[in-house]
Every structure is written in C-alpha cells, then in structure tokens.
Structure 1
Amino acid sequence: MRHSAATLARLLAERAPTLVRELLPNGRRDGTEWRCGSLAGERGQSLAVHLGGTRSGVWADFSSGERGDALDLVAAVLYAGDRREAMRWATRWLGLDDNPAAPTVRRPPPAARPTETDADAQARRGAARKLWLAGMPVKAGSPVAAYLAGRGVDLAELGRAPGALRFHPDLWNGESRRAWPAMVAAICAPDGAMVAVHRTWLAPLPSGGWGKAPLRDAKMTLGSYAGGCIRLWRGASGKPLAASPAGETVVLAEGIETALSVAVACPERRVLCAVSLANMARVQLPAAIGTVILAADNDSGNPAARRALDTACQWFLSQGRAVRLAMPETEGRDWNDVLQDETI
C-alpha cells in the first residue's frame, strides 16, 4: 500500500522527537523545539524543529530561509531535497512496508549556481573570512596553546601549530554579550575554499591554564559547511588534501581536540575534523584517498549517534573506499580522553 506525501509527513510529525534525534543527533532540545546550527546538524541555534502540537515536525532554518514539514526535513538532511527518496525512506522508517530500515547514505547538497546562491549564506561566508583574517597564528604560550595543552595536546610534539587554527584575542559572543579570547578554526569546502569557521571561546582557569569559557555554547560555527572539514594535519606526505598520494589513508574525527589527539599519536597520518557527527557522513574527499579511518567517540549507548556513525561508514563504503572504525573501549569516552589519561 502506497502512502501519500501528506500522510507520511503527518506520521513523521507524530514521532518528531524521535525523528530529530535520528536526523540531527547533535542538536539539543530547547523548550518545545529541537535546535541545531543547520541541516548539516552541527550544534547551534539557526535551525529549529517543532516537537509537538499542531506544528509538530514543522521546521525553519533562519539563516538560509529554508523551511518545510517533517517529510521536507528528511529530504533536506538525507537526500538534498529529493522528496521521492525521502518518501521511500519514511515508509521504511515508519514500518509501513516489509523492508527493514537500513543505514542511509547522506548525499551532499548539489553545488549552487552563482545566480542561485543565497545572499545570507554569502554574507556568513564573508563574515567567517573576515573573522579568520582578524586572528593570528597560534604561538607557544598563547591561550590556544595553553588550552590544548590542558587537553593533553602538546603542540611542541607536532613541531608546529596546525595552520588551520588561529587565536583571536577578543572575539564577541552573543550569548554572554561580551568578548572572550577564542580558538578559531578554518572550515574548507571540498575545493579548498574557506567557507566557515569554528569558534571555541576560552577563559583562564582558577587553577591556572586555560579552558572553555563558562558559556552554554562555548563552541559554535559561523557559515554553512556541509561536505567540508577542518584540515588539521597533512601527515607524512606533507601535501595539500587535493594532492593526496594515491591510496593514502585519512583519519576523520568529529571534534578538533579528538583530531589533534590522533595527530599527536599518529603524526604520519593525514587528519581531518568533520566538525559534527552529522557532517561526517557528508565530508567529500579526493578520489586518491583509499582508506578512511573514523576516529569515533564511544557513543554506543546512544542509538541515534550510532546510526549516524553507521551512515558515515556507508557513505565512504559506497565510494569504493576501505573504511575502518577506531573507537575507545570505554563507553562515553573519545580519543582525547585516552590521550589525557596517557599524559597524566
């Protein structure tokens, strides 16, 4: 029995709290809404999904102007707007046919033509670049170096600070209505252009050193970055990502600290940061990359996170690449936790 788009949208809306955890596992509940940064699923506030009432399943991305119902959300997150594919997925996910719901490969959004580029997106990209230029290279003794050292990442072991990271001494934060020192990371599109920045606001610790600023959201992104990543470490080849040697192995981690922990432990590997678990299933790599190692957090107790990780595995397997999963043995821990244990 085939179901109409309206019926599927209504049934998805009835399960909105479960649906958003499936599609956008890095978001968080804010009253009657589920909030995240964008359709890429990173943490933030721009995208809101209603979780109940007469508007259950209705969503809007206030940065891009995109909006729709629960079925549109499936299409936008998983299938670059293809509602027909979204209907097939929804039918399986809702258990309305006999086929089990399998991990779905998230498709990157199609490249926009210049005449179709959203003006707000261009403004955010410009703001991200301006912010990046206002920063300065990370040096020994800087708050960024001290913050990373407190997380067990000694940049001296790498011989230099990654060029993707910068220090901003006085970066405005909207939540606290004041400026803080911050670590700023460049997020690059597949073609190498910088499209967004990741910000980590910092503050001195009472015990000495530096840590994250006492904010609800001490980490935020500026700009859309679906399919992009932070290029933290080039590994043994020393070549840009676009010039990766044939068959090279790349390590892809979710967060900056985790990725840097891998770089310290395995400096011969090329290491990238996906910024969010949802975007891990969208990162686009050169054809030369033969193997992808996913340096995953151990979120085995979180079914939504596990499904997102499975989606990332399927994404790279579908491209003919070998995929390996590296995960700490203890639930709730990541590779930065492991590194800190070793440096105590």
Structure 2
Amino acid sequence: MLDLIRSNMGYSTLGEAMIEARRFLRLPQPPASQYSRSCDAKSDSQASLRIAKRLFAASIPLPGSLAARYLQSRCITRIQQLPSVRYHPRCPYRASQGDQQTTCRHYPAIICSVTDKDGAIAGIHRTWLKPCGTGKADVAAPRKSLGAIAGHGIRIGQCQGVLAIGEGLETMLSVREALPSMPVVAATSASHLAAFLFPPGLQRLYVAREHDAAGDAAWTRLCARPDTQTIELVPLEPGRKDLNDDLMADGPERFADRLLDQLHPDDRQHFLKP
C-alpha cells in the first residue's frame, strides 16, 4: 500500500508516503527524524540485497575455476552440486582499515549465497583469493558478508531432522568431504552461529567446534538458548584448531573415521561415506 501511495502521489521517498498514510488515517505524526532513520535503514538494506543478488548471479559454478584450485589446496575435492557456492573471477573489493593504498579494487573470489530457512537469499559471503589460487588474497579483510545474514547461513543439502553447522565454509565443506550426504550450514562467523535460526523439524544438531575464545563463546550461547532444549546438540571436536586443519593433516580416510566416531549411533550408518 505504501508503494501505491508513493506512486500515485508522486512522492520520491517511502518516508513521504508514510506521512501521507498517517495523515489519511488521522494518526499522530512521529518526529521527522524517525522517518528518516527508518527509511534510510530500509533503503540501505534493500540496496545491499540487490547488490548481493547481482554479484551472485554474475558468478559461475566452481568446477574448473580458480576457486576449485583453492579448495583443493585445502583438501576439499567434493565441489560438484554446490549451487550455493560459486566463483567470481573479478569481484569488487573495498579497501578496509589496514589495507595499503596500492591494494587492488578487484580479486577473484568465492561467492556464497546466504539463505534463510525457506531458501530465500538474504545476502552473500565473499572470500577473496590470490590470483594464483593458492590462498586468500593479501588484504586486511579477505572475508566479508553483504546483506542481512544474521540467523541465516550458507546451506548445502536439505535438513531432514539432522544438520551440521559450523562457522567457516572450509570447515563445513570438510565435514561434507567425509560425510557427503550430511546436510551442512556455514554460519560465516561465531556470532552468527550462536544466533542461527533452526529449520522446522530439527532434532539433532552437530556443531563443528573451533578451539578459540569466539568458538567457545558461541558454543556456550548456543547451549543456553531456550529453543535448544528440544534439540540434541552434539559437538564435533577437532584435534587441532578446526576440522579443515584435521582434514589437511590427517588425510581423508583417517579424518572420516574420526568424524564417524563422534556421530550418534543412529547416524553412523546413514551418513557413512560411500
């Protein structure tokens, strides 16, 4: 309705349409600054989402790309059928505090769609890479998100009662390397992991731990949430800092065996590596 008012009355902003709607309904008008703040925030959010969707649409599938080379250097080889993980050969990079004046404006990047529990894109997550594909780009912030991604994640597979979640993409792709049929979610950060919105019907949640202060805090907050009382939380403990470090150090077979040992007995056979 506000969009119709804005169009019919020729207003240039949503705030003007809100003022007209309140006038028509004979409602008191809040201070003008309140309209300005709320409309600016909504406009910025919508603009960010448009940019995020445009960048994701401009990206290409992983196989054969520089991003595939990078993931393979992390011992991640299962890169087929990953619609939420793509590659952009020249993704814009905005310099952050700590970057040099000579920092490039574009780098190759892994671009992931961050979706809500209904599958709608809420934003993207970008990991900029070195042009040779052997590591992350030499910039102050090689990972950045865009959009309203809190509570959502990079989803791979469909949750049917059991789900694995962790902070980083490489961590969760490592889980998938050992357990290819296990649905996984990368929350993109420790704070987002603690605030993840659970999908309907979730019964058991495997949490890929990270041994640092942020990871410990996320686990504590997750366990303390009231909505986890009906969900079985099972930690997946790495032997090193994270599960990708384990995969690289132990190799795929030994890593898979260690991960299987940590699963609930009902899940070991179901998610056994083929």
Q: TM-score scaled by structure 2?
A: 0.70
CA RMSD of aligned residues (A): 2.2
Which protein is richer in strand relative to its size? 1
Q: 2:85 aligns with which of 152, 156, 165?
A: 165
How far off its partner does 1:292 sit?
A: 0.4
Secondary structure at 2:130 match in 1: strand
Structure 2 match to 1:257? 170
Alignment of 1:234-273 (within 5 A): 234=157, 240=158, 244-245=159-160, 248-273=161-186
Q: How does 1:164-313 map to 2 (within 5 A)?
A: 164-175=84-95, 176-205=103-132, 209-232=133-156, 234=157, 240=158, 244-245=159-160, 248-299=161-212, 302=213, 305-313=215-223
The answer to whether 1:318 aligns with 2:228 is: yes
Are residues 1:329 and 2:239 paired?
yes
2:59 match: 135
- Structure 1 residues without counterparts, runs of 5 or longer: 1-113, 235-239
Per the alignment, residue 29 of structure 1 pairs with none
Look up the match of 1:150: 73
Q: Which runs of 5+ in 2 are unaligned?
A: 1-37, 96-102, 253-274
Say whether the 8 Å CA contact 2:114–2:124 is kept in structure 1: yes
Query: Equivalent residue of 1:293, what SS?
Result: strand
> For the residues of structure 2 that align with 1:172 and 1:288, how far apart are their CA atoms?
39
Q: Is the 8 A contact 2:130 2:136 kept in 1?
A: yes
Tell me, in whole angstroms, the C-alpha distance in 1 between the residues paired with 2:135 and 2:217: 31
Q: What amino acid does structure 2 have at the position aligned with 1:121? A: S
Deviation at residue 286 of structure 1 after TM alignment: 2.1
- Alpha-carbon distance between aligned partners in 2 of 1:314 and 1:272, rounded to the nearest angstrom: 20
Q: CA deviation at 1:211?
A: 1.5
Higher relative contact order at CA 8 Å, sep ≥6: structure 1 or structure 2? 1
2:209 touches 2:215 (CA, 8 Å); kept in 1?
Answer: no
C-alpha separation between the residues in 1 aligned to 2:234 and 2:139?
A: 35
- The partner residue of 1:126 within 37, 50, 58 is 50
| Distance change in 2, residues 1:337/1:285 (3 Å) | same
Structure 1: distance between partners of 2:226 and 2:136: 33
Q: Secondary structure at the residue paired with 1:166? A: strand
Q: How many residue pairs align between the two structures? A: 208
Percent of aligned pairs sharing the same letter: 30
Q: Which runs of 4+ in 1 moved over 3 A?
A: 114-117, 316-319
Cα distance between partner residues in 2 of 1:142 and 1:192: 25
Change (3 A) 1:116 1:179: closer
- The CA deviation at 1:316 is 7.0
TM-score, structure 1 as length reference: 0.57
